[in-house]
Amino acid sequence: MSVDGKSKSTVSGYGHHIAAISLHYGRIPLELTSEEVRDYLYEVQKRSKTPSRSYFVHTVCGLRYVLKSEGLPCEYFQLPVIKKEKKLPTVLSKEEVWRMLRAAKELRHRMLLGMLYGCGLRCAEVRVVRLRDLDFDRKRLHVVQGKGKKDRYLPLSDHLIRGLRVYIKAEHIDDRLFKGQTLSREGEDCGGCYSQRSIQTTVKQVAKQAGILKNVHTHTLRHSYATHLLEDGLDIVTLKGLMGHSNLRTTLKYLHVARSNPHRAFSPLDTLFARCAKKSK
């Protein structure tokens, strides 16, 4: 899996599920019958009162990889077709984002929210940002090897830059922007970066403190980033590049308001402060 270019989290996840079914029967998956595989999948699905779709899906994906690596078709195990759920993303209003920024009492938490929303970063991307990735002169953030092992540059808001300068000086940051646990959830050494679980917990706690009833998680801020940029007039093609999407169809789900004329890339924090700061005075 590693040689095929799979990420460490994918290798860990597939390995876990392949090992689980192997231990369940005391045999490797290729020694199982299709009936045994389907019985196991049914057990996984019914293991709890509220079956975890994610666990079920990843088990199927792990088995598919086993078959693929052996040159066998999915029909070999009669694996079910996994239909993608067509759900629209949860999006915060600009006022709700503003409330979250004000509700975050710790400077580190405000900067974390500012990076997630102001740059549209994924959780795995924000936790590994280094000082050398920040270019305050050119107002750019270098995302190094994001999802799909792709680099990209993102605009930094003037408001975020001011906050980051204060934060870096106050916290004596010399490498990782957000320091935390040494090991990630997958057990990999990430040089003392903030853990994924800590980031997720922080976002949920701040949303609760801000009185937001929506189901808010780290990706909600990324969804809001994309939607607000489109509403502010950024074109869909430029947004695709900022989001790091490989396929334009992935970006099209954010097409709430789109204009035909291309606009220079900018951060939604600029229009957020212009709109909300005056209201709060």
DSSP symbols for 186-227: TS-B-SSBPPHHHHHHHHHHHHHHTT--S---HHHHHHHHHH
Calculate mean pLDDT across residues 100-105. 94
CB contact burial 247-273 (16+ within 10 A = b; e otherwise) = eeeebeebeeeeeeeeeebbbbbbbbb
What pLDDT sits at residue 225? 93
Q: Is 222 a catalytic residue?
A: yes
Band the pLDDT of 109: cuts 50, 70, 90: very high
Active-site option among 14, 117, 194, 254:
254
What pLDDT sits at residue 264? 61
Average pLDDT score over the chain: 85
Active-site option among 122, 139, 140, 142:
122
What pLDDT sits at residue 196? 86
Interatomic CA distance for residues 137 and 168, integer angstroms: 16
Calculate mean pLDDT across residues 195-207. 92
What topology does CATH give the domain 94-280? hpI Integrase; Chain A (1.10.443)
Sequence ranges of the domains in the chain:
8-76, 94-280
What pLDDT sits at residue 182? 45
What pLDDT sits at residue 238? 92
Active-site option among 94, 109, 222, 223:
222
Q: Is 254 a catalytic residue?
A: yes
What pLDDT sits at residue 186? 44
Active-site option among 142, 147, 179, 217:
147
pTM check: above 0.95: no
- 184 has pLDDT over 50: no
